[in-house]
A and B are shown apart, each in its own frame.
Chain A
Amino acid sequence: MTASCLKAAALGVVALAAALTVGPTAAAPKVGAPAPDFSVLDTKGETWSLGQLAGKQVILEWTNHDCPFVRKHYESGNMQALQKEAGDAGYIWLSVISSAPGKQGHVTPAEADALTESRDATPTAVLLDTSGAMGRAYDAKTTPHMYVIDASGTLVYMGGIDDRPTTKQADVEGASNFVRLVMADLAAGNPVANPVTRPYGCSVKY
């Protein structure tokens, strides 16, 4: 009897204490959760959204052609090789430019297409996220910053392109390319071994 009275009293105290603690957190993209949706125009004026890509595996690449870290991967041909492999494996590859007008990396649709052509790159599309809304939804921090979304729309990878955070082209060789490893894991039906890594590069010029 007394024990249950006490229990009630103690529960009250606990509830009071619990009421004093607070707080929700802002939503950030989470590996294992549905990838954030987006709706962004590409260089051809077409709108891309995640909803349209249901059933497809998607790779997102944040980019800024003037960033030395991005140049390392394009001038060495590393990014183009990766794009080709991904395309052959059936991935949709979206290069995303979140640079605000007037900031480094901001380009017109024509300039973006010219860059793609001159670099011999093969993304499925180049998205011009001028407002930065998509970048913020994905919490994209650097160029490059890579994301992989599986066929069910679940974010399975976010992070760096590889494990050598430098601007030296010589470091491409011998680096562990995380995106390539993720594609291998998905192809083999395995869970992604390293789902979150440090993205490295220049800051996204929001």
Chain B
Amino acid sequence: MTGAMVSTPRKSPHTDGMIAIHERLPRRFNPRRQRGMAIGTISPLLLFACLAWLSPTSANPVTTEHVTARLVAERTEMAPGETVDLALVLEIEPGWHTYWRNPGDSGDSPRVSWSLPEGVEVGPLRWTRPELIPVGPLANYGYSGRAVHLFALSLPEDWPIGEPVRIRADADWLVCEAHCIPESGTFGLTVATALGPGPIDPAQAEVFASARGDLADGTIEGAVLRTEAAGLSLDIPADLLPAGLDEAWFFAGSWGLIEHAAAQSWRLVDGDLRIQLTAGPAAAQVDPEGLLVVSDRQGGVRSYEVAAVRGPPLLEGDAQRSISLPLALVFALLGGLILNLMPCVFPILAMKALSLVKGLAGEGPGAARARVLHGVAYTAGVLVFFAALAGLLLALRSGGAAVGWGFQLQYPPFVVLMAYVFLVIGLSLSGAITVGRRLMSLGGTRSGGGTLGAFGTGALAALVAAPCTAPFMGAALGYAVTLTWPPALAIMLTLGFGLALPFLLLSLVPQLARWLPKPGPWMETLKQVLAFPMFAAAAWLVWVLSVQTGPRGVASVLAGSVLVAFALWLRERAQHLRPGQRRLALAMLLATLGGAAYLGVATVRLSAPAQSLGAETGRQLPSEPYSPERLAAARAELRPVFVNMTAAWCITCLVNERVALDTAGVKGLFSAADVLYLKGDWTNRDPAITRYLAEYERNGVPLYVFYPVNGEPKVLPQILTEDIVQGAVRQGPMASSRSH
């Protein structure tokens, strides 16, 4: 018998984390509610209702076969407009258990439906942290011993003081040992009202205090859930978690996300707690949220609500992201060493090495000291430049600017400046001018060279390395700048140190210098030959600029180059002039350089021509420009999509396109499988592409993502081969045909 006033049939919500259904009782038997009823029926009905509240069916506590349950309020009195906490306390027979909001593999959460006077409200059930209850090969999330479910009861402002609040709760719960018994109880509770809140009921204080201690200690934002071949990987930012973690367990908030009974392993990776989970049957569909329960070595247990976003899988190409910091530093050092072989850097290093052979290889303490100073100054030059660049990038990022590594190349004046720099170095190496000697000690024919000169060379090496690092080191550096400042700087500086290392070793260990070939006329030949990679780099940058700014930018940079050449010629001539004429020549030189600089800076106003990359020749794979809308539309019409994020200044991108995408095989496969090829051009800054890259935790190109008709998008490695592309596309449609 559930009371006459509750005439509506009990709704059974079918949501997993069900909670409370509210039914309205007229406050103080509001006569308007009975309007239309025959007068004679009113009083018996009222009487019946009164009896229903007082009747023994709404007992408190309720004792069932396996549970003693009670509904209690934290305070004996409450004031209108205020809130008091209620607790539904289930004292469970040893060996038996009840369930959490996600009951796990079987079982059912408790449900409470409230019968409340008008205006009175009860908030949702607040769940305390559950325990993991293994049941054979299965597992449940639930409570043993005592389960306390908290609710907030709030009273309207206009509730008459002195009028007690009578509420009723109909609760159902499933209690299980090996087998399960559905139980229920109807609870009546009366809370007195007064001007102010009454004292905490000492009889209930312990129940409420301990239940609150078991509520979540907070919510952790920014967690990422990835689907990988080996299962699910959940990365939870660890900054809120206590130090000295001893145990961690993730309770999925709803059925289907994970296998509840499967083992979970965890470790700390770069400030994140990474938990490996086993995917459940609906891992891709259900909301990736739940509760993280951790304990520290002192035995303190804390729990946090975790609402994760889905991230792309960590696949081959970005496996480097999961490496630890020490390993990342090793790779950065190797990367820096590799930079020395770059066409833009190698000539400088070669020249420096030659200068050692020629001038610094002398014997005696003086020469040795000069060598060491030289090497240290060079290293310092490299490191200062890298630190400055890293600082600028990190500052821009913390300022919220959507920039990534290689960002400097998205700025046309920088490209122009770099083209000038390569031109000047090339001219200097080819022997057309002698500018390098004093300023940068590039020729290095004099034994001193000067520590300042060595420092300048180091900075120059780093400067010219920058365009090379963008395409080749983009991913690693992109990863680095997503870290906090100290590790990010450490990685950048290690990269710089790697760049400086060969020369530093040469200058610190004279024995190494002896391995270098003997000086001779071949050195001049080598120097001149090395001018050509420099000219090639300049030509490449002019092409980059043509993509960025169109023909007007090319005109500017070429005109500027003529001015730079003229200025260099003036400088050469000025050395042989009388002081008066020399001043005039230097003024002209400065004016000419100013003109070149102006032409360079002015390119910032030139916008890119429409349809930049791609869509040029029939050799290329037919593509459409990337836009989020186009991607979403194609996905909606169940078309597989291949996304290529690229930039003109990214050599890796261009090489990949040439060898792995613009091939007859891929062309045939794409048209056969009706793959839409979307190309995003990041040559210039484009926030939509920067956002897309960020979704995949990148901040540099290239990025290749294949979206099969159904299933998770697959991130391809940054070094593409035709086989990788074909493999990814072939796997996609096959997977979809299997599932129907």
Residues of B within 8 A of A11 (CB): 719
B176 at the interface (CB under 8 A from A): yes
Residues of B within 8 A of A4 (CB): 655
A4–B12 alpha-carbon span in the complex (Å): 66
Residues of B within 8 A of A170 (CB): 9-10, 12
Interchain CB contact under 8 A, B738 and A32: yes
Cβ contact of A136, chosen from B108, B137, B278, cutoff 8 A: B137
B138 at the interface (CB under 8 A from A): yes
Cβ contact of B323, chosen from A17, A68, A171, A198, cutoff 8 A: A17
B317 at the interface (CB under 8 A from A): yes
B-contact 0/1 string along A15-52, CB 8 Å cutoff: 00110111111101001110000000000000000000
Interchain CB contact under 8 A, A68 and B138: no
B240 at the interface (CB under 8 A from A): no
A18–B317 alpha-carbon span in the complex (Å): 8
Residues of A within 8 A of B320 (CB): 13-14, 17
Contact A164 B108, CB 8 Å, known A2-B342, A14-B719, A141-B138 = no
Interchain CB contact under 8 A, A68 and B180: yes
Interchain CB contact under 8 A, A158 and B319: no
Interchain CB contact under 8 A, B12 and A166: yes
Residue of A nearest to B710 (CB): A32
A121 at the interface (CB under 8 A from B): no
A3 at the interface (CB under 8 A from B): yes
A124 at the interface (CB under 8 A from B): no
A10 at the interface (CB under 8 A from B): yes
Residue of B nearest to A159 (CB): B281
Residues of B within 8 A of A142 (CB): 105-106
Interchain CB contact under 8 A, B341 and A2: yes
Instruction: Mark out the residues of chain B between 124 and 174 whose CB falls within 8 Å of any chain A CB in the assembled complex.
Output: 135-138, 140, 172, 174
Interchain CB contact under 8 A, A21 and B319: yes
B316 at the interface (CB under 8 A from A): yes
A204–B230 alpha-carbon span in the complex (Å): 27
Interchain CB contact under 8 A, A6 and B338: yes
Closest approach, in angstroms, between the C-beta of A11 and any C-beta of chain B?
5
Instruction: Mark out the residues of chain B between 286 and 319 whose CB falls within 8 Å of any chain A CB in the assembled complex.
Output: 314, 316-317, 319
Residues of A within 8 A of B282 (CB): 196-198
A136–B472 alpha-carbon span in the complex (Å): 49
B610 at the interface (CB under 8 A from A): no
Residues of A within 8 A of B105 (CB): 141-142, 203
Interchain CB contact under 8 A, B136 and A206: yes
B107 at the interface (CB under 8 A from A): yes
Interchain CB contact under 8 A, A21 and B322: yes
B229 at the interface (CB under 8 A from A): yes
Residues of B within 8 A of A31 (CB): 281, 739
Residues of A within 8 A of B655 (CB): 3-4, 7
Chain A interface residue count, CB cutoff 8 Å, equals: 55
Residue of A nearest to B476 (CB): A13
B502 at the interface (CB under 8 A from A): no
Interchain CB contact under 8 A, B229 and A25: yes
Interchain CB contact under 8 A, A7 and B719: yes
Contact A18 B179, CB 8 Å, known A10-B472, A198-B255 = no
Closest approach, in angstroms, between the C-beta of A27 and any C-beta of chain B?
12
Cβ contact of B256, chosen from A21, A66, A198, cutoff 8 A: A198
Interchain CB contact under 8 A, A25 and B12: no
Residues of B within 8 A of A206 (CB): 136-138
Interchain CB contact under 8 A, B739 and A164: no
Number of CB contacts from chain A to chain B under 8 A: 138
B181 at the interface (CB under 8 A from A): yes
Residue of B nearest to A20 (CB): B319
A14–B231 alpha-carbon span in the complex (Å): 21
Interchain CB contact under 8 A, A24 and B136: no
Contact A3 B107, CB 8 Å, known A14-B319, A168-B12, A205-B178 = no
Closest approach, in angstroms, between the C-beta of A64 and any C-beta of chain B?
8
Residues of B within 8 A of A205 (CB): 136, 178-179
Residues of A within 8 A of B10 (CB): 170
A85–B621 alpha-carbon span in the complex (Å): 54
A13–B475 alpha-carbon span in the complex (Å): 13
Cβ contact of A203, chosen from B138, B314, B317, cutoff 8 A: B138
A196–B285 alpha-carbon span in the complex (Å): 10
A-contact 0/1 string along B622-660, CB 8 Å cutoff: 000000000000000000000000000001100100000
A67 at the interface (CB under 8 A from B): yes
A-contact 0/1 string along B333-377, CB 8 Å cutoff: 010001001110010000000000000000000000000000000
Interchain CB contact under 8 A, B12 and A17: no
A141–B343 alpha-carbon span in the complex (Å): 62
A17–B281 alpha-carbon span in the complex (Å): 30
Interchain CB contact under 8 A, B106 and A141: yes
Cβ contact of B179, chosen from A5, A67, A166, A171, cutoff 8 A: A67
B-contact 0/1 string along A57-78, CB 8 Å cutoff: 0000000001111000000000
Interchain CB contact under 8 A, B14 and A163: yes
Residue of B nearest to A136 (CB): B137
A9–B10 alpha-carbon span in the complex (Å): 68
Contact A14 B108, CB 8 Å, known A23-B230, A68-B180 = no
A131 at the interface (CB under 8 A from B): no
B16 at the interface (CB under 8 A from A): yes
B271 at the interface (CB under 8 A from A): no
Cβ contact of B106, chosen from A9, A159, A167, A203, cutoff 8 A: A203
Residues of A within 8 A of B230 (CB): 21-25
A53 at the interface (CB under 8 A from B): no
A201 at the interface (CB under 8 A from B): yes
A191 at the interface (CB under 8 A from B): yes
Instruction: Mark out the residues of chain B between 208 and 241 whose CB falls within 8 Å of any chain A CB in the assembled complex.
Output: 229-231
Residue of A nearest to B322 (CB): A21
Closest approach, in angstroms, between the C-beta of B235 and any C-beta of chain A?
15
A181 at the interface (CB under 8 A from B): no
A109 at the interface (CB under 8 A from B): no
A91 at the interface (CB under 8 A from B): no
B519 at the interface (CB under 8 A from A): no
Residues of A within 8 A of B342 (CB): 2, 6
A151–B694 alpha-carbon span in the complex (Å): 46
Interchain CB contact under 8 A, A14 and B338: no
B692 at the interface (CB under 8 A from A): no
Residue of A nearest to B259 (CB): A28
Instruction: Mark out the residues of chain A between 151 and 200 whose CB falls within 8 Å of any chain B CB in the assembled complex.
Output: 158-159, 163-168, 170-171, 175, 191, 196-198, 200
Interchain CB contact under 8 A, B108 and A203: no
Closest approach, in angstroms, between the C-beta of A133 and any C-beta of chain B?
12
A141–B105 alpha-carbon span in the complex (Å): 6
Residues of A within 8 A of B181 (CB): 68
Interchain CB contact under 8 A, B138 and A67: no
Residue of A nearest to B102 (CB): A198
A25–B342 alpha-carbon span in the complex (Å): 42
A104 at the interface (CB under 8 A from B): yes
A202 at the interface (CB under 8 A from B): yes
B182 at the interface (CB under 8 A from A): yes
Residues of A within 8 A of B717 (CB): 14
Residue of B nearest to A19 (CB): B319
Residues of B within 8 A of A201 (CB): 106
A119 at the interface (CB under 8 A from B): no
Residue of A nearest to B9 (CB): A170
Residues of A within 8 A of B316 (CB): 14, 17-18
Contact A23 B229, CB 8 Å, known A5-B341, A175-B14 = yes
B740 at the interface (CB under 8 A from A): yes
B331 at the interface (CB under 8 A from A): yes
A171–B13 alpha-carbon span in the complex (Å): 10
Instruction: Known pairs A6-B338, A25-B229; list 10 more (Cβ under 8 Å).
Output: A13-B331, A17-B320, A21-B322, A167-B108, A168-B172, A168-B182, A196-B256, A203-B106, A203-B135, A204-B138
Can you list 17 A-B contacts with CB-CB less than 8 angstroms, sorted by A residue number? A7-B652, A7-B655, A7-B719, A14-B717, A18-B319, A21-B319, A21-B322, A25-B231, A32-B738, A68-B174, A104-B179, A141-B138, A158-B281, A165-B108, A167-B108, A200-B108, A201-B106
Going nearest first, the 3 A-B pairs with the smallest beta carbon separation are A32-B739, A23-B230, A203-B106
